[in-house]
Amino acid sequence: MRTFRRYVLGKAAWYLLALAAAIVVNWYLPRLIPGNPVDALVAQLGGSAQGEQLKHIHDVYVHEFGLDKPLWQQFVIYLGNLLHGDLGRSFSFFPTPVLSLITQSLPWTIALQVPAIIVGWLLGNALGAIAAYRGGWFDRGAFLSSLFVSSMPYYCLGILLVFGLAVAIPLFPPSGGYSFANTPEFSSEFIFDALGHYWLPFISLVVIFIGGQAVGMRSMAIYELGADYVNFGRSLGMGDGRIIRYIFRNAALPQVTGLALSLGTIVTGGLITEIVFNYPGLGSLLFSAIRQNDYPVISGITLLIAVSVLVANFLVEIAYGLIDPRIRAAQSGDR
Amino acid sequence: MLTAFRFNTRFQVAAGILVLVVLFAVFGPLFPGRGDPFATVGGLYNHPSASLWLGTDNFGHDVFTQLMYGTRTSLVIGLVAGAVATLIGVVLGTLAGFRGGLLEDALMGFTNVIIAIPTFVILIVLSVALSNRNIVTMALVIGVTSWPWTARAVRAQASSLRIREHVDIARLSGAGTARLILIEILPYMASYVTMAFVLQLASAILNEAGLSLLGLGPSNVVSLGIMLHWALLWESVRTGAWWAFVPPTLMLTFIAFSLLMLQSSMNEVFNPRLRTGGAQARRRLARPEIRQAPVGGAGVAADPGA
């Protein structure tokens, strides 16, 4: 237990460092935007205002955003605000707080991505293990198609799916998270409607994720195939399904770390896919924020992505340490 | 080595697709009538016809010409960004792996911190902060953010090479650090670094496409991502104007697929024991396969090499 605590603490220290780096980058870089964000805001708001009036508005905002204070003080204020969950106010929907825009979109993104990641991980690894075990044409076909699918950007498959299955052959609704006639509420009608809109983006994420996991699992499983327990099991006359299950369990461990490593990629890929589907999640919010130079919303979203990926990574690593005692023992020694 | 390449069909297919794509991007714009991707040749989403092979986009530009220039932009950005990322990764990784000690701890600590932050997030924040985005700044931004994977992989290689006998012999004969790294270490990692570069190239092209799709692409040029950006913004997907989005989508997929296939077939050539066969023929591998980054902020899910 002692070693496990050291393992967790060691990991936590690294992730805290990364978190600090992410916060600083996210806070400082937007400040490099030429002619600070207030100018952009004033230009957006004060269309009719002129001269003195414009300058007054400008000064008020400079003061409100604290841009007249020294840099370190701005950072302290920013940190304080973060701790209160205050991410500033949106420029394009002024004065709506960024946080409330994000909390509107976040459930959609979570509902789309978490099931897609779990289902994709399970199916992809199962496919990879079976392909490695069976070998031959099945392996070659599964490997090549997995490689093809996994090299495809998420949004590319999304675009092709929308066109193929929603426009050319109208099986699914082509856009949005629910019909315009509906408003988000807890009714069976709304949930049914939302489910209809859910399939296409979900499939496009899952298929690509399956491909990536299958490619990884296949080569992990090939290592396992030569192991003594496989030969022994075979000589005992065990069924294929059973041996594949053993292989799966052994080869799945590195795949857990693989999941942690690729999480950032999956999440950002999923966000861009939302844009293709006009899905009302964070990705679409980010898209419109970029179009309107809504800097507070952009940095709120990027911060949220960075933090949640870091936290998820940390949890996966802890889970990994729990599953595999060798890792605990090996890694508590160094970092 | 060359015979191995000749027998590897996947390598040939991948290289073939790549050569076609490069020829298309390099020589396509030289044909008469393909001089200006921004020339207005028609109206909003004209259908493909005998003169406009892929119709027009929302501005009335010729999609086929745009595809040539877009592919060219994507390839240039990919090459520059991939080279920058590989260079930084190799320098830091070799230094860390070869020198070891405190320097290694510091460099790898830094790398691990950067790896933990999703690359695409840094890319978005950096691109938003850049006022004037052109091909070169985009390529540099992508290159500067995507080196950590290569650094990590190269470090592992360099630190295992460091204790090989031929390095010891060179060291005993009085070779300096620079000579050791250049002559005794780097050539032994050449295949590894080449594969890392191919992956970086694929990932850079996809990252550029993702950023451009978001509206953070280079200005005054056309790229595959920018074509997709306008196609999505003008609802071409939902109005059925397939010629506006299918060509860049397929082009991106072909580029990424052929690069990844190239990498995986090179891996099989350099690591012969990875070649597929029946389950019985396989034995536990003595040396682990190359394990490189999950490629591409915006696209590819898992590491193809692992």
Closest C-alpha among B98, B82, B93, B61 to residue B222: B61
Q: Does the interface predicted TM-score (ipTM) exceed 0.85?
A: no
Of residues A273 and A226, more confidence is placed in A273
String of DSSP letters for B260-295:
HHHHHHHHHHHSGGG----GGG----SSPPP--PPP
| Best to test chain B binding among A139, A140, A156, A217 (most B CBs inside 10 Å) | A156
Q: CB A152 to CB B299 under 8 A?
A: yes
Q: Give the helix/strand (H/E) hosting A332.
A: helix A325-333
Contacts of B146 in chain A (CB under 8 A): none
In this predicted structure, the answer to whether residue B88 has a pLDDT above a threshold of 90 is yes
Contacts of B242 in chain A (CB under 8 A): 163, 168
In this prediction, residue B142 carries a pLDDT of: 92
Work out the minimum CA distance from B299 to partner chain A, whole angstroms.
4
String of DSSP letters for A224-262:
HHTSHHHHHHHHTT--HHHHHHHHHHHHHHHHHHHHHHH
Q: CB B294 to CB A262 under 8 A?
A: yes
Work out the minimum CA distance from A183 to partner chain B, whole angstroms.
22
Q: CB B302 to CB A150 under 8 A?
A: yes
Q: How many helices (H) and strands (E) does chain B have?
A: 13, 0
Burial of B275 (0-12, 13-18, 19+ CB in 10 A): exposed
For B64-85, how does the pLDDT look when each residue is reduced to its tens digit (9 = 90+)? 888 999 999 999 999 999 999 9
Closest to A156 (Cβ–Cβ): which among B215, B252, B276?
B252
Contacts of B114 in chain A (CB under 8 A): 18, 21
pLDDT band at B86 (very low <50, low <70, confident <90, very high): very high
Residue position matching structure tokens 């949220």: A304
Closest to B260 (Cβ–Cβ): which among A151, A226, A291?
A151
pLDDT band at A51 (very low <50, low <70, confident <90, very high): low
String of DSSP letters for A56-90:
HHHHHHHHHTTTTS-HHHHHHHHHHHHHTT---B-
In this prediction, residue A328 carries a pLDDT of: 55
Q: CB A302 to CB B299 under 8 A?
A: no
Of residues A307 and B269, more confidence is placed in A307
For A122-147, how does the pLDDT look when each residue is reduced to its tens digit (9 = 90+)? 899 888 888 888 777 888 888 888 88
Q: How many CB atoms lie within 10 A of CB A260?
A: 19
**Residue A25 carries which side chain, given as an amino acid letter?**
V
Q: CB A219 to CB B242 under 8 A?
A: no
Q: CB B257 to CB A152 under 8 A?
A: yes
CB pairs under 8 A between A and B: 240
In sequence order, the β-bridge partners of residue B61 are B40
Q: CB B289 to CB A15 under 8 A?
A: no
pLDDT band at A69 (very low <50, low <70, confident <90, very high): confident
Work out the minimum CA distance from A141 to partner chain B, whole angstroms.
12
Contact between residue B292 and residue B196 where contact means Cβ atoms under 8 Å apart: yes
Of residues A47 and B170, more confidence is placed in B170
Contact between residue B208 and residue B77 where contact means Cβ atoms under 8 Å apart: yes
pLDDT above 70 coverage of chain A, percent: 87
Q: Cα-flanking dihedrals φ and ψ of residue B187, to 5°?
A: -60, -30
Residue B59 and residue B40: Cα distance in Å, rounded? 7
Closest to B304 (Cβ–Cβ): which among A153, A215, A291?
A215
Sign of torsion, CA A333 B106 B185 B273? positive
Closest C-alpha among B148, B20, B26, B48 to residue B93: B148
Tokens representing residue A165 in the block: 């299955």
Residue B302 and residue A219: Cα distance in Å, rounded? 12
Q: CB B117 to CB A310 under 8 A?
A: yes
Closest to B279 (Cβ–Cβ): which among A25, A168, A225?
A225
Residue A311 and residue B148: Cα distance in Å, rounded? 20
Q: How many CB atoms lie within 10 A of CB A164?
A: 14
Q: CB B121 to CB A22 under 8 A?
A: yes
Largest CA distance in chain A: 90
Of residues B177 and A325, more confidence is placed in B177
Contacts of A266 in chain B (CB under 8 A): 301
In this prediction, residue B1 carries a pLDDT of: 47
For B243-258, how does the pLDDT look when each residue is reduced to its tens digit (9 = 90+)? 888 899 999 999 998 9
Q: CB B279 to CB A133 under 8 A?
A: yes
Closest to A153 (Cβ–Cβ): which among B237, B279, B299?
B299
Q: Cα-flanking dihedrals φ and ψ of residue B42, to 5°?
A: -170, -165
Residue B72 and residue B78: Cα distance in Å, rounded? 10
Residue B25 and residue B37: Cα distance in Å, rounded? 12
Q: CB B216 to CB A305 under 8 A?
A: no
Closest C-alpha among B144, B114, B148 to residue A24: B114
Contacts of A209 in chain B (CB under 8 A): 301-302
Closest C-alpha among B124, B237, B244 to residue A25: B124
Residue A85 and residue A103: Cα distance in Å, rounded? 11
Contacts of A251 in chain B (CB under 8 A): none
For B165-207, how does the pLDDT look when each residue is reduced to its tens digit (9 = 90+)? 888 888 888 888 888 888 888 888 888 899 899 999 999 999 9
Contacts of A227 in chain B (CB under 8 A): 284
Residue position matching structure tokens 């570069």: B197
Q: Which residue of A has its CA nearest to B110?
A: A18
Contacts of A223 in chain B (CB under 8 A): 284-285
For A174-222, how does the pLDDT look when each residue is reduced to its tens digit (9 = 90+)? 777 777 666 666 677 777 777 778 888 899 889 988 988 888 888 888 8
